[in-house]
Structure 1
Amino acid sequence: MSVHNFHNILFLICLITLGLIHVHPINAQPLSFLVDSVEYVWPTDATNQISSTFGETRSAHLHAGLDIRTWGQEGYKVFATRDGIIYRIGTGPHGYGNVLYMKHNDGSYSVYAHLNRFEPNLQAYTDSIRIQDYSFVMNEVIEEDSLFYEKGEVIAFTGSSGVGPPHLHFEIRNKDNEPVNPLLTNLTVRDNLPPVFRQLGIEFLNPINLKNEGFEIKNARRDGRNYEFGEITVNQPVGLSVNLHDRANNTPNAYAVYTLTLVHQSDTLYHSSVDQFSYAEGRHMFLDRSYQILAETRRAFQRLYKVNGNKLPIYRKLKNRGVLALDEGKYPLQIIASDIFGNETKAAVTLNVNGSNKIDNITDVPTYPAPGEISKPFTLNQKEVLFDNSVPMLASSEPISFSISRISDEIRFRSNSSIEKRLSPGIKQVFSTPNQQLWIEFPKEALYDSLNLHLDISRIGDEIHFNFSPDRLPIEGEVYFNYILPDELKDNEHLGLFSVDKFRNRTYFMWATNKDGMIRSPLREISSLVIMEDKTSPWVGKPHLEKNLAGNYVIRVPAVDRDTGIDYQASNITVNGKRGIIEYDPDRNSLFYYIPGYVPENQNQVEIEVFDGMGNRTSKTESFTF
């Protein structure tokens, strides 16, 4: 057995012996990945350093693998980490970008994402499929073709597709296609540095129903090798959460920790260990993290208690679900964080409880808070584009955003209606206005928990505002927004739907449909919305002839839209009347004309047609000599 695996197992045995881990079959570790008979080679020749690790916070899910540094460059070799066949190929401008899925003889998988391109034979295979309909986006399961690669063979080259900056995203998945922490295998990085505590979140819970009533944040103080949060006085039940990170040698990056433990004297109240999870549970990150703090601060505070609906298999010990509902008195608490290599840090906090708040045998901790004070509507009168690839922390809409400004109290608005309803999980239901102008369909799997939801609808000019309370709520599955436009706006095809982030004064285009006088869109969160107009066509620059990293000629066309982004699938470029595959790089704000083996003629005419998310169109013709 390798030294790294031996240390992992010894560390786990110590935790079990101390009573910090209660192992249950449902949470059993994937032991087949911890023996020497299953070994992996490092997946790239770029570096042996990681910029992100398993289980970190992402915009809409838990991070499912390792991000390996590539020095801010593209084109390093990517290796098959084990013998296997190519199971699935994907290409596209978002998510994993250009990605390969390999299947190994034991039924497990390895995944390689954000690639610049595939190795030449595999790239030719991929292009032969895409050229049939000139489609940029591809997602094909090709297991039956049995494209086999031996361990250590080059399968691709690193890039930045899907999301920048350049790096390699690498995953290991078990036979059920569930991501497993790659550092549970023989793969390792140099790390003898302990985690770092930054802040403690105190989430106040209603003493009767345990609904969240707000939070406070307390900064950590260094105390030798460990940390101190001092004394905190409360007069109601609380749940704690921590903002912390791990470190590794020779890299500036911050990582997620591997285990978290909350102890009162010799009593373990909470313990978690991030070994694996399923993709069906990936969005439960919003429940493991404090989504209220995440939405407001964009900082990931990991909860030391568990709310309803959270099905992540990472919790090894929970007493009273981790909620601190205690008798009057002072309680010295210790929070222990460790990385996967056994480096450990402790933080101390004393909870001073005023009055008795003791609740025994807590089994129900509501996911959602009660409706609060309804926010005043605001006008979106400033459209300064922010091309920073930021995305709403609780949504999966396109990263096109611009700043907004709140209106003053003096500005009058017309309120169409206010509605409030109690919604329940496991039941198909509709949240609607009395006149049925608005209805939001909630499938039975949409909610994590019961929700009392309030909505205020108002109109300022041609802008229609939908202000929810509570706001910025995670949901389990999509809900479906439907709104019948007022008669005077029904023919305005330039109206679009935007998600509102009031904390950062930004909106995010939702790529909704506007058809037959109705706005429709799936929603991946409960957030305030606004319908507003976009009549501005995209800006399109002069085409440039370039070579990509594979040495193939491509034509790059700069394209920017300040409101609703580029609709790359509707856009088109022809050269001398010939179609090509139109690829899109949102980080470079560019469309690319690509044909395998393309060589320009002496005289070339480029016809360009670019659409934005609302269908506004820009067309132009340019010529160049080769």
Structure 2
Amino acid sequence: MNPLDIPILLSGSFGELRSNHFHAGIDIKTLGKEGLHVFAAANGYVSRIKVQQFGYGKAIYITHPNGYTTVYGHLGKFANAIEQYVKSIQYKKENYATGNLYFKKDKFPIKKGEIIAYSGDTGGSGGPHLHYEIRNTATEHVINPLLFGLKVEDTKAPVFQALKVYALSSDARINQQRKSYQIPIKSIGKGKYTAGRITASALIGFGVSVFDRFNKAPNKNGIYSLEMLVNGKRFYYHDVETFSFAESKFLNLHIDYEHFKKYKRRYQKTHKATSNTLSTYEDLINNGKINIQKNLNYAIEIIAKDFEGNLSSLKIPVAGKESNAIFTNQKDTTAYNVIAKNFNKFKQQNVTVAFPKNTFYEDVYLDFNVDKEIAKIHTPTIPLDKSFTLTFNVSKYSEAEKQSLYIANVEYPKYPRYQYTRKKDSTFFITTKILGNYTLLSDTIKPTIKLLYLQDQQWISNAKTLKVKIADIDSGIKNYRATIDGEWILMQYNHKKRILTYNFSDKKLVGSKHIFKIVVSDNVGNTNELSATFFKKQIN
């Protein structure tokens, strides 16, 4: 059943293209509100609960006797019995994050339609909504929830935005040139699109930027399937019916990753890279790569469908024409030749990079340079399969200076991003899957703390919550600890608004005079604290 008691409108579809992964569920709109009832979709039991600052935020996993597990994420609050249990764990650990809590069948049995939680905006949510998943319990593969009878009104066909054609072999030519092109397209109505005629030779492939919309919702969503026909014969097909979390990272090979990193537009390729082992592909001929022969004409058709079967098609005429142009490859002169199957380690000045075997999907000449304290590790336009280690030698700094130093990604110099920096004697290091520019930065500024709706020595008898705003302009907030009268209290952190909230219903206060204290630390150890006295009568 629908996990909400309102009509389903989606802000995110299953298998949608996200950052480094495919979307594993559907995002159901909650009318821009929090606190809507969330219902169990079927009989079962709560098998797992996880509360974390990012990711799914507050999440419930319900295992069902038919072999499936449903997942409900970004929740604001659990149903009473579950909420009390989770809070008891949080207070015992004195930590908002619970880690994974696993349960046997008899702990929290659930009936279909039972209220299990209330919708929210916790974790990595971009706004109030319910993230809803269905998984195969045995394999943990995620499955499109719309296959289970959930109905979303959709009569709109997908929309093609743009087309690219790629030269896929050294002798390939497109319009007499050895490069990839963006090809203009136009809509001729009723879900039909055409592209201008191109000439080509040897091995080529295509990619499309395409999205779908549901009725009554303006946002752009992902499509369900993509197909390519060459002279009426299927060369390529994929759909988003099911996939595993382990293979979701291959999204970066499924799309034109370089174009996305440069221009923020995702092209889904209709040809498959050798290293791409996604299980969503079917009926591929030559991995979707087309070998264009001289003097032959090709009718290429790319078809995009949504879950309801609404389709749009894009037709591309291709003429086989041998190129007379002479091209010579410019030899790469970089000294850092990465052999993908080998362990690779390079050093310049005070910086060392180490790439485990098969970090890269293919061999590459690495652009590695250290200039003015900035380490350039190629450009972030190549996807990586594994993390590499970046190490800075910091022996020239004093102990006091080391304390405030951290490694930052400075791809966008105005907006440096703290990287989890591990410090060991004279070396600092990080592990990351993102190439680009990195440097050492110093943070000597304490986090800021501001009471909201409360002043020292104030009576707040009618207040239901206590709120504090915290921020750090450099390395960012690492942790915080709040107490009332010396006892730890649970404050939920909305990192988007930078607001911590304590609910007075958590504990019964003794007396009317109370001391609130909070200590906040950033990622290099700068610490700030604030204390305030407030008065509150107990209201029954």
Distance 1:552 1:542 in 2: 14
Report what 2:376 is aligned to: 467
Q: Is the 8 A contact 2:351 2:375 kept in 1?
A: no
* 8 Å CA contact retained: 2:409, 2:418: yes
How far, CA to CA, are the matches of 1:81 and 1:483 in structure 2? 51
2:499 is aligned with 1:560: no
1:119 aligned partner, one-letter code? A
Tell me the amino acid that sits aligned with residue 466 of structure 1: A
Task: String of CA shifts for 1:547-587, please: whole Å, max 9, x gaps.
Answer: xxxx994422101122222113xx21122222122432111
Distance of 2:293 and 2:466 partners within structure 1: 70
Deviation at 1:214, TM superposition (A): 6.5
Change in Cα spacing, 1:372 to 1:193, as seen in structure 2 (3 Å) is farther
Given residue 192 of structure 1, which amino acid in structure 2 is its aligned partner? Answer: T
**Structure 1 equivalent of residue 121 of structure 2:** 160
Aligned to 2:340: 424
- Structure 1 gaps, min length 5: 1-40, 358-369, 374-417
Q: 1:379 aligns to what?
A: none
Q: In structure 2, the residue corresponding to 1:564 is in which secondary structure?
A: coil
Question: CA-to-partner distance for each residue in 1:319-342, whole Å, 9 max, x for gaps?
Answer: 221123322344331111111111
What residue in structure 2 maps to residue 223 of structure 1?
188
2:490 is the alignment partner of 1:576? no
Conserved? CA contact 1:552–1:596, under 8 Å: no
TM-score, with length taken from structure 1: 0.76
Which of 249, 268, 272 does residue 302 from structure 1 map onto? 268
Matches within 5 A, 1:346-385: 346-355=313-322
Residues 446 and 545 of structure 1: CA distance in aligned 2, closer, same or farther (over 3 Å): farther
2:351, 2:370 within 8 Å by CA — same for their partners in 1?
A: no
Q: Is the 8 A contact 2:443 2:474 kept in 1?
A: yes
Question: Offset at 1:422?
Answer: 1.7
CA distance in 1, matches of 2:331, 2:15: 31
Q: What is the deviation of 1:353?
A: 4.6
Residue 433 (str. 1) matches residue 347 (str. 2): yes
Unaligned runs of 5+ in 2: 325-329, 456-461
Check 1:303–1:209 CA distance in 2 against 1; reply closer, same or farther (3 A cut): same
The one of 504, 508, 523 aligned to 2:417: 508
The whole-number CA distance in structure 2 between the counterparts of 1:176 and 1:545 is 50
1:169 to 114, 131, 134: 131
> Aligned residue for 2:447?
538
Once residues 209 and 582 of structure 1 are traced to their aligned partners in structure 2, the CA distance between those partners, rounded to angstroms, is 60
Match of 1:238 in 2: 204
- Over 3 Å counting, the alpha-carbon distance change for 1:180 and 1:256 in structure 2 is same
Aligned to 2:5: 45
Aligned to 2:459: none
Q: Given the alignment of the two structures, is residue 452 of structure 1 paired with residue 365 of structure 2, yes or no?
A: yes
Q: 2:82 maps to what in 1? A: 122
SS at match of 1:116: strand
The percentage of aligned residue pairs carrying the same residue is: 26
- Partner of 1:280, secondary structure, is coil
CA contact (8 A) 1:88 1:139 kept: no
* More moved, 307-316 vs 164-173: 307-316
Q: Which residue of 2 aligns with 1:106?
A: 66
Secondary structure of 2:391's counterpart equals strand
Aligned letter for 1:556?
K
1:331 to 298, 302, 327: 298
| Pair 489,322 (structure 1): closer, same or farther in 2 beyond 3 Å | farther
1:595 deviation in Å? 7.2
Which amino acid letter does the alignment assign opposite residue 182 of structure 1? P
Q: 1:343 aligns to what?
A: 310
2:156 aligned partner: 193
Question: Are residues 236 and 45 of structure 1, via their aligned partners in 2, closer, same or farther at CA, if it must alter by over 3 Å?
Answer: same
Coordinate RMSD, CA, aligned: 2.8
Partner amino acid for 2:531? T
Per-residue CA deviations over 1:256-307 (Å, capped at 9, x if unaligned) read 1111111122222211111111110111111111111111122221111111
Cα shift readout 1:13-38 (whole Å, capped 9, x = no counterpart): xxxxxxxxxxxxxxxxxxxxxxxxxx
Amino acid at match of 1:194: A
1:290 counterpart letter in structure 2: D
Amino acid of the structure 2 residue aligned with 1:265: N
CA distance, structure 2, for counterparts of residue 84 and residue 619 of structure 1: 45
Provide the rounded CA distance (Å) in 2 between the counterparts of 1:65 and 1:259: 16
- Write the distance in 2 (CA, Å) between the matches of 1:160 and 1:288: 30
Q: Deviations over 1:426-465 (max 9, x none)?
A: x5x2422177x43334334533333332311122xxxx21
Given residue 560 of structure 1, which amino acid in structure 2 is its aligned partner? A
- Distance change >3 Å, CA 109–CA 303, structure 1 → 2: same
Matched letter for residue 528 of structure 2: T
Match of 2:515?
Answer: 605
Aligned to 1:151, what secondary structure does the other structure show? coil
Of 282, 285, 292, which residue of structure 2 is paired with 1:319? 285
Counterpart in the other structure of 2:458? none
Q: Describe the superposition over 1:224-254 as per-residue Cα deviations: whole angstroms up to 9, x where unpaired.
A: 2111222234566433111111121111122
8 Å CA contact retained: 1:440, 1:479: yes
Counterparts of 2:410 and 2:381, CA distance in 1: 9
In structure 1, distance between residues paired with 2:119 and 2:332? 47
Tell me the distance in 2 between the aligned counterparts of 1:232 and 1:156.
56
Letter paired with 2:159: V
Distance 1:309 1:534 in 2: 41
